[in-house]
Structures are given as structure tokens and as C-alpha cells.
């Protein structure tokens, strides 16, 4: 997204807070939204800008944060003492040594900031009037204890923390999100001049704007909605941000051509991919790693994770697809069917009460109710292969490793422990014995015994 004529981009993500209000052993920024840690939501939005460098400033729980970002091209810096946002940003200076360009300052617990908003901040920074800094402002319904921005025509006259604001300043509803874009040439030089003569005794990042103003240089503010810059400091705020993300994703799914019967009951993961003309009934939950082909029908109360659902396939109700489940075109799994690491071929069906684990089911095969692929012996997993057009009778147990040939029929109630050749009939059950009149004689005898005769 970066224009060749634009300066390179770096991002500093602050994640040093202790997050005590979360009351958790998990670092605050690693709590998930839509199945993905908050920090990684933000990192993905940053990555879309193709930054030259990204630095996460850590503190308490640094090992967890470092482990989360280690697979990514992200450096870390340590803020050993919590001395304010300005102090936190300053800890990234060494990691950005030699970098000359634009720096985005972001927060790991403000995860929903979009790439487009980040780009808008950078665009404003590189506008002809060349502001020293660009601050992202917002107007919440309740300004509360947020820092205030006093501005005219988008130019900042003053930024002040709530603790230090006058009553008149607190009456202003333009609030500071904390997010900022600054040129690297200005950032650390200004931070070196920031003092801590304030009510909290901390080094405030917004003070760089006022220091620049004292030098006769101005800074700008652009605005976004309060939802985009919502922070997460508690479980309740986590739930609120999750709900906001889900609401946006549901709207996007419907705008892209999916039907959600009861949108508020459908829960998506961060990477759920939904095709056109998909119908999703109430109370369907998606875990990470799901793709759904065009025209698929997902019935109510199904849970889907790590699965690929083909075009015009049908799932549920009350079905569970676990990681590695692959459904071919027009295939079907019905109520109380579970799939794990299994492939269901085109047009194949398992309509109810079935477990398919470590299995490969050929096109057009029919799996009867109560069928189980016995894939685990307590130590190892084994595979079941069911050929095209095979018919597995109800209440059958297929003890893997085993292969059922194409077109074969397995009689209901069978326990299959050996391969079945194509087009064969396999029956594994004792011959039925009928004794005429036995049931009546039994009842008569029991009735007499009960009567004491």
C-alpha cells in the first residue's frame, strides 16, 4: 500500500501494561477476539502497510508476548518500569536505530484499528502542510477520563490529560485515542524533552505535540469512530469489542451475498471465508480456519472449525466439523454427526448420529445412522477408506485400518475388522434365531410367579 514516493513506515505497538483488571494469567493483549489474539489482529492490519520495521514494547508477561510475535517479522523492546506512554515509546528507539521514515504509534489493547485508518494518518502526516504529528481523535458518547484534544480546523491547539485538564477543557468531547503518526526524525528528539511534571508523575506521549507547538510547529488531528479505537482493559470490555467485531463481520457476510437467518446468533472467526448464496441458520459457531463454498446450507446449532465445506454442501443441524474435515460438493452431514480429519466425497452423505474420524469417504457413498470409524486404539490413529458408492448400514463399527471397496455394502450392525472388496456384501453378526411362542410362555410364567401361584 505504500507509495514509492512516500517515506518508509515503521510501527511501534505498546504492550507493556500489566492488565491487572483482566484478572488473568494470560497477557492482556493475547486475549482473543474472533479466535485471534488482540495483538495479532493489530499486527495483521499493520502488516498490510508493508512496514519496514515493527516493534512491540513489552513489560510484564514479556515472555508470552515475545512467543506470540516470534513467528512474525516483529522486534521487541522492554519497558522495565511503567513510567507512562512517552517513556514506553522511547524504549523502541534502539530497535529503530537507522530508520528514517514515518512511525505509527499503536496500542496492543486497541485491536480494531483498520489499515485504512492507519493509512489516513500517514497521508495526513505527508500532506503539504507537513504537521509534526498526526493524532487520531474520536468523540465517544461519554468522554469520561480520556485525554482531550483542543483543535480548530484540524490543527491542534492543545492536548491535555484528563487529570490535568480544567473544567472547560474537560467539557470538550474530542478525545485522544493515543494513536499517533510522527516522523522518526522528530519522534525521539521530542521524547527526550518530555518531562513528568504532572498529576501522575509520568512521561506523557501527547506532550510531544505541545513541545513541537512551543517550537512554532503544528500538529494535526483526524477523527474516527469510537468503536474503532475501543480499548480492552477488562473482561467486560473484551466482550464489548468482540460483539463489535462480530457485528461488523456479519454485516460484511450479508453484503457479500450470504443469508444469515438470525445474524446476532452467528459467530465468526477472524479468517472465516463465506461464499455467495450461503445460508446460515441460527446459532452456528465458526472456529478458525473455515471456508464455505457457494450455495452451502449450514443448519442451526452447528460448530465448525478448521474445515472446508464445498459448494452446495449441507451441514447439520447440531453437527460438528473439527480440524481437517473436508466436505465435497453437494455432500451432506446431518444432525449429531462429527467429522475430524476426514474427507467426504462429492454427493456422499452421513445423515445422522455418525462419527467420521481419520477417514476418506468416496463420492456418492452413504453412511448409515450410528456408524463409527474406530480410529484410535489408545496409542495410535488409523485410517478408514470407504470407496465411491459404498453403503454402510446403520450402527456399524469400522475398525481401522480398514478399506471398504467401491460399491460395497456393509450390513447394519456389523463390526468390520478386515477389508471389504468392491461390490461385496459384508455381514458381521450372528444368525437370527426365532422360537415361536417363547415370548408368550415367558410372560405367562412371570405373571404366575408374581402372583405367587
Active site residues: 352
The Cβ of residue 406 has, within 10 Å, a number of other Cβ atoms equal to 16
**β-pairing, 372-374 with 425-426?**
unpaired
Round to whole Å and give the CA distance between 122 and 101: 11
Round to whole Å and give the CA distance between 420 and 365: 14
Round to whole Å and give the CA distance between 64 and 57: 13
Backbone angles phi, psi at 302, to 5 degrees: -100, 145
Sign of CA dihedral 236, 242, 245, 248: negative
Q: Would you give the DSSP letter of residue 96?
A: G
**Largest distance between two CA atoms of the chain:** 114
Q: Helix or strand or coil: residue 397? A: strand
Q: Grid coordinates standing for 223? A: 477523527
Exposure string for 331-358, b = 16+ CB within 10 A, e = fewer: bbbbbbbbbbbbbbbbbbbbbbbbbbbb
Q: Helix or strand or coil: residue 305? A: coil
Q: Helix or strand or coil: residue 414? A: coil
Q: Which helix (H) or strand (E) holds 385?
A: strand 384-386
C-beta of residue 209 within 8 angstroms of C-beta of residue 187: no
Q: At what angle do helices 38-47 and 62-69 cross, to 10 degrees?
A: 40
Nearest to 105 by CA among 242, 237, 13: 13
Place of cell 516470534: 70
**Distance in Å from the first CA to the final CA of the chain:** 95
C-beta of residue 19 within 8 angstroms of C-beta of residue 30: no
Runs of H (alpha helix) within 233-377: 235-255
C-beta of residue 354 within 8 angstroms of C-beta of residue 318: no
C-beta of residue 265 within 8 angstroms of C-beta of residue 283: yes
Round to whole Å and give the CA distance between 368 and 70: 47
Backbone angles phi, psi at 144, to 5 degrees: 50, -130
Q: Would you give the DSSP letter of residue 219?
A: -
Amino acid at each position: 500500500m505504500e507509495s514509492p514516493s512516500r517515506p518508509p513506515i515503521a510501527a511501534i505497538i505498546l504492550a507493556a501494561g500489566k492488565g491487572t483488571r483482566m484478572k488473568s494469567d494470560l497477557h492482556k493483549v493475547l486475549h482473543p477476539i474472533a479466535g485471534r489474539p488482540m495483538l495479532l489482529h493489530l499486527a495483521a492490519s499493520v502488516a498490510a502497510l508493508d512496514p519496514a520495521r515493527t516493534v512491540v514494547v513489552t513489560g510484564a508477561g514479556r515472555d508470552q508476548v515475545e512467543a506470540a510475535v516470534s513467528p512474525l517479522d516483529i522486534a521487541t523492546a522492554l519497558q522495565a518500569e511503567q513510567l507512562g506512554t512517552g517513556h514506553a515509546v522511547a524504549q523502541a528507539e534502539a530497535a529503530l536505530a537507522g530508520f528514517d521514515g514515518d512511525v505509527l504509534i499503536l496500542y496492543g489493547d486497541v485491536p480494531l484499528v483498520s489499515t485504512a485508518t492507519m493509512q489516513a494518518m500517514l497521508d495526513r502526516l505527508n500532506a503539504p502542510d507537513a504537521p509534526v504529528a498526526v493524532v487520531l481523535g474520536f468523540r465517544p458518547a461519554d468522554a469520561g477520563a480520556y485525554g482531550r484534544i483542543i483543535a480548530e480546523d484540524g490543527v491542534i491547539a492543545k492536548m491535555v490529560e484528563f487529570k490535568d485538564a480544567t473544567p472547560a477543557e474537560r467539557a470538550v468531547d474530542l478525545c485522544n485515542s493515543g494513536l499517533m503518526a510522527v516522523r522518526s526524525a522528530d519522534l525521539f528528539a521530542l521524547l527526550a524533552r518530555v518531562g513528568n511534571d504532572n498529576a501522575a508523575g509520568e512521561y506523557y506521549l501527547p506532550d510531544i505535540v505541545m513541545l513541537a507547538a512551543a517550537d512554532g510547529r503544528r500538529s494535526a488531528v483526524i477523527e474516527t469512530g469510537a468503536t474503532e479505537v475501543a480499548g480492552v482493559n477488562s473482561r467486560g470490555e473484551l466482550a464489548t469489542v468482540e460483539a463489535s467485531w462480530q457485528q461488523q463481520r456479519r454485516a460484511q457476510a450479508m453484503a457479500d451475498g450470504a443469508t444469515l437467518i438470525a445474524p446476532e446468533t452467528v459467530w465468526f472467526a477472524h479468517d472465516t471465508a463465506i461464499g455467495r448464496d450461503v445460508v446460515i441458520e441460527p446459532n452456528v459457531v465458526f472456529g478458525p480456519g473455515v471456508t464455505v463454498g457457494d450455495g452451502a446450507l449450514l443448519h442451526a446449532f452447528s460448530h465448525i472449525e478448521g474445515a472446508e465445506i464445498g459448494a452446495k454442501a449441507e451441514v447439520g443441524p447440531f453437527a460438528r466439523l473439527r480440524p481437517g474435515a473436508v466436505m465435497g460438493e453437494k455432500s451432506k452431514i446431518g444432525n449429531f454427526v462429527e467429522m475430524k480429519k476426514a474427507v467426504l466425497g462429492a454427493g456422499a452423505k452421513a445423515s445422522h448420529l455418525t462419527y467420521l474420524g481419520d477417514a476418506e469417504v468416496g463420492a456418492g457413498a452413504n453412511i448409515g445412522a450410528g456408524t463409527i470409524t474406530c480410529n484410535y486404539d489408545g496409542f495410535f490413529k488409523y485410517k478408514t477408506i470407504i470407496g465411491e458408492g459404498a453403503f454402510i448400514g446403520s450402527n456399524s463399527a469400522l475398525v481401522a485400518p480398514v478399506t471398504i471397496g467401491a460399491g460395497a455394502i456393509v450390513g447394519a450392525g456389523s463390526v468390520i475388522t478386515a477389508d471389504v472388496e468392491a461390490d461385496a456384501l459384508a455381514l458381521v453378526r450372528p444368525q437370527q434365531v426365532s422360537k415361536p411362542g417363547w415370548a408368550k410362555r415367558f410372560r405367562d410364567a412371570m405373571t404366575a410367579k408374581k402372583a405367587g401361584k
